[in-house]
Structure 1
Amino acid sequence: MVVGTNGASENQDGRVSADWLAYLLVLGSVALLLLRHRHPRLVVIGTSASMLAYLALGYPYGPIFFSVALAAFAAVMAGERRVVWWSLGALWGGHVLIGHWLYRWLPPAGDSGSAWGQELFIAAWVTAVVAGGELVRTRREQWAKAEGERRAARQRRADEERLRIARELHDVLAHSISVINVQAGVGLALLDQHPEKAREALTTIKAASKEALGEVRQVLEALRTPGGPPRAPAPGLDRLGELTEHFAGAGLTVDVTTEGARTALPPGTDLAAFRIVQEALTNVVRHSGSRTARVLIAYGPGELRLRVDDDGPAAPGGMTGGGNGLVGMRERAAALGGTVEAGPRDDGGFRVQARVPLGAADTVATGNRTREAP
């Protein structure tokens, strides 16, 4: 700034040559810029006053303009628009007074005043400085908003992933532990009189626990390598046969009925349908006195309907409708745009109904009605 002021002084005839006071005003305006982020109001007022004094003393036009521009720019970005407009307006008004009226009594001697075109240039310069600051401030706010939205989206995806994992772990563990609990009770009851039956119960416990460990391990591996492909295919409705066998080992006979034309399901829909049926049958084992259950899988136009019925009655301390299992089923269906309804039937049993939209799934097999062995 000092070098530029010195150069301007040497090349502007008719102006007062820069002296120690001119350099003091230039350096003072620069020193104020160090405070522009903490005290933007003070800095823009101080630099404007320094420049006005500099012009009133007749010093040459020079780099002192840049200190005012930077101070105004910082104040606009800090949201101090009103102070900037007042300060720059006062500076421009002061220059008009100096250049068109007070010049007779101010240095340099014999000055003829300023041209009005110069005032228009200064007005345009002031407007450009303020507009530039507003533009940068607006862009920064847009960037900050976009970054906030990206953070919120990342947090939302993380929350959804945690919820998905919680549902998976609940469904896997609730099913397997229910089977293990029932078989452990059977084994204890038959251990003395029918040791061979107790052995069957222990075999079922071993198979159920092994499967549960495998599925839990798959979920934990997905946690360690987010975004990676699963090492084993996710279960779907094609594994209902295995599921009914597990429940048969727990003493629950399951009758599966399929209606409509079989359609290829997206992996997420297939998994959700399997988990809904699994959780509904688990609730029968845990909370119903019935040892039979009926599952209906109906492929309709653009939707998949699931229904699981048992004939009750409810076991002591049975389900009240507020457990995590029903919440998980509803969340799975809602994530796909579907619904789940659950409640007691008029005849004393319990029914779980789910509806999941399919979209444009491709038909892979046809048939009006098929039955599978329990």
Structure 2
Amino acid sequence: MGTKRMAFAEWLSRALRWFAARPLVVDTLLAVSLAAGSWMGALYESPSGALPPDGLSFALILAVNLPLVCRRKAPITVLVVSCSCAIVYHLFGYHYGVNNIGPPLALYSVAARRPPAVSAASAVLVLAEWTHAGMMQPLVAPWAAAGTAILITVSVLSLGTAVRSLTERNRRLADLAVRLELEQESRARRAATEERVKIARELHDVVAHHVALISMQAGLGRYVFTTDPATAHATLETISDASREAMTEMRRMLSILRTDQDGGDDGGRDFTPGLNRLEQLVRRLDSSGVPVRFRFAGTRRPLNPGLELCAYRVVQESLTNVLKHAPGARTEVVVTYGDSALGIRVTNEPGDSTVASRPGGQGLIGMTERVKLYGGTIVAGPRPSGGFEVEVALPFAPTEQPALGHG
């Protein structure tokens, strides 16, 4: 028995969905059913004193009910035709209990699809039709007929208005859902673009520095290959170390990308370079023929990994620019732990090249973007005495600021 009920419920659900997707079929069946029911009622239940059904009454019955097929597309026209024909039907003296369903259905369609002012004006027709039909009944007082007509009209208006409000709310919600989806897609595209820019900046910082170092060392090694084997061997070691470190950082970046995509553990971020690797960076540059002095100032303290990465990239890019534009220049790097900000100052004397790092280069642009991302400031440009200077201030996050009373 339960299986049969489930099967019937499933069949009924599918049937309702089928009819909901075909409103014209529903309206056609409704109009034909009302016309047939009205004709059968007039034919077999004609009250005493009413005119017997004939061809004219049949035509009027069709005119009252069949227009309901178009009630969704032209509700006001259908209401006027249905109410007018129903009033004419009753004025001729035909069955007063017939043709009273079509007009309220037409009014419901108006109320569900037109503004309240239009619906209220259209309700006068239904009110007049129902009042007239009620007053034709021999045992119904005029006030009772009018009261019934008012009750029916107000009920139909209320139901149609409620449906219209629900439809408009659903339409607004659908529009809002579409806008939200478009906004989410736009945010996703912006996030993807920002991520691509971030990755491109990382790739530039990693590749540019190491390639510049490898290129310089390869040129030096080729120059002294036959005259100074020891120096040539040292340059090969530097090239090997630089290429190995470049591969390590590239693998780190790829592991981060895979982690973000798979949603797994972000352990790959443990290899993010920070200030503790600056000394190694400086030693490599110093061993490659770029004399670099490096020192920390102030009291060192743990920093946000992102801030440390930003500081490391600033120093790395500044030294890369020295390699590119002032090879062999004496360079000084000072990292200062202040009370509220981390200071970075990279200065170099004029080198063998004719110009220092140019402010319009892509490396300096990326460096500026990094610094601004952390709310910092950057000043870069030629020094009055020659050479180039980069000075950066990166404010500490609230959790990274020293406690009061400590240096």
Q: Is TM (by shorter chain) over 0.5?
A: yes
Q: Is the 8 A contact 1:340 1:352 kept in 2?
A: yes
Distance 1:289 1:306 in 2: 21
Larger radius of gyration: 2
- Asked if residue 55 in structure 1 is aligned to residue 99 in structure 2, the reply is no
**Counterpart residue identity of residue 280, structure 2:** E
Secondary structure of residue in 1 paired with 2:244: helix
Establish whether residue 337 from structure 1 lines up as the match of residue 375 from structure 2: yes
1:319 corresponds in structure 2 to 357
Deviation of 1:317 after TM superposition, in Å, equals 5.8
Which residue of the partner structure matches residue 99 of structure 1?
A: 127
Structure 2 segments unaligned to the other structure (5+ residues): 1-25, 51-56, 87-98
- CA 1:290–1:66 in 2, change beyond 3 Å: closer, same or farther? farther
Kindly indicate whether the alpha-carbon contact (under 8 Å) linking 2:79 and 2:107 is maintained by their aligned counterparts in 1: no
Alpha-carbon distance, 1:123 to partner = 4.3
The answer as to whether partners of 2:329 and 2:351 remain within 8 angstroms in 1 is no
More displaced 10-residue stretch of structure 1: 263-272 or 129-138 = 129-138
- 1:315 shift after superposition: 1.6
Q: Is the 8 A contact 1:307 1:352 kept in 2?
A: yes
TM-superposed CA distance for 1:367, in Å, is: 10
Separation of aligned partners in 2, 1:258 and 1:367: 18
**Residues 111 and 161, structure 2, Cα contact 8 Å, conserved in 1:** no
Are 2:302 and 1:264 equivalent residues in the alignment? yes
Q: Do 1:342 and 1:351's aligned partners in 2 also have CA atoms closer than 8 Å? A: yes
**Alignment match of 1:247 (pick from 267, 279, 285):** 285
Residue in structure 2 matched with residue 236 of structure 1 by the alignment = 274
Q: How does 1:118-137 map to 2 (within 5 A)?
A: 118-137=152-171
| Matching residue within 323, 326, 334 for 1:288 | 326
Out of 239, 257, 282, the position equivalent to 1:205 is: 239
- The answer for the alignment partner of 1:224 in structure 2 is 258
Pairing 1:274–2:309 present: no
Once the two structures are aligned, what percentage of the paired residues are identical?
30
Rate the CA distance shift 1:225–1:52 in 2: closer, same or farther, 3 A.
farther
- In the alignment, is residue 361 of structure 1 matched against residue 400 of structure 2? yes
Instruction: Give 1:128 deviation, angstroms.
Output: 2.7
Q: Determine which of 313, 333, 342 is the counterpart of 1:304.
A: 342
The letter of the residue matching 2:136 is G
- Sort the Cα spacing of 1:154 and 1:56 in 2 relative to 1 into closer, same or farther, 3 A: same
Q: 1:98 Cα deviation (Å)?
A: 5.4
Residues 1:195 and 2:238 are matched in the alignment: no
Show CA shifts across 1:116-147 (max 9, x none).
44444444345434432332233233323332
Cα distance in 2 for residues equivalent to 1:146 and 1:119: 40
Distance 1:99 1:355 in 2: 81
Q: 1:71 to 1:123 in 2, by over 3 A?
A: closer
Question: What is the CA-CA distance between 1:54 and the residue it aligns to?
Answer: 2.4
Q: Cα distance 1:302–1:188, how it changes in 2: closer, same or farther (>3 A)?
A: same
Equivalent residues of 2:275, 2:309 under 8 A apart = yes
Residue 136 of structure 2 is aligned to residue 110 of structure 1? yes
From 352, 366, 384, the counterpart of 1:346:
384
Give the 3-state SS of the residue equivalent to 1:282 in structure 2.
Answer: helix
Q: Cα RMSD between the aligned structures?
A: 3.6
Deviation, structure 1 residue 318: 4.6
Q: Do the aligned partners of residues 327 and 225 (structure 1) sit closer, same or farther apart at CA in structure 2, a change above 3 Å counting?
A: same
One of 201, 214, 227 as aligned partner of 1:180:
214
Taking structure 1 as reference, are residues 66 and 292 closer, same or farther at Cα in structure 2, changes over 3 Å only?
farther
Cα 1:313–1:337, aligned 2, differ >3 Å: closer, same or farther? Answer: same
Secondary structure at the residue paired with 1:235? coil
1:24 aligns with 2:58: no
- Quote the offset at 1:240 in angstroms: 1.0
Q: TM-score, normalised by structure 1?
A: 0.77
The structure where helix makes up a greater share of residues is 2
- Measured in 1, the distance between the counterparts of 2:320 and 2:371 equals 18
TM-aligned CA deviation for residue 274 of structure 1: 0.5
**What corresponds to 1:78 in structure 2?**
none
**2:109 match:** 68
Are the equivalent residues in 1 in contact too, given 2:378–2:390 (CA < 8 A)?
yes
Offset at residue 149 of structure 1 (A): 2.7
Q: 1:69 to 1:244 in 2, by over 3 A?
A: farther
Q: Could you tell me how far apart the structure 2 residues matched to 1:230 and 1:11 are?
A: 82
- Displacement of 1:153 in angstroms is 2.1
Give the structure 2 partner of residue 153 of structure 1. 187
Distance 1:108 1:120 in 2: 16
1:337 shift after superposition: 1.2
* SS of residue matched to 2:271: coil
- C-alpha change, 1:314 and 1:355, in structure 2 (3 Å) is farther
| Structure 1 residues 236 and 286: CA distance shift in structure 2, 3 A | same
Deviation string, structure 1 residues 293-316 (Cα, Å, up to 9, x no partner): 111111112211111111125723
> Any unmatched runs of 5+ in structure 1?
34-42, 73-83, 369-374
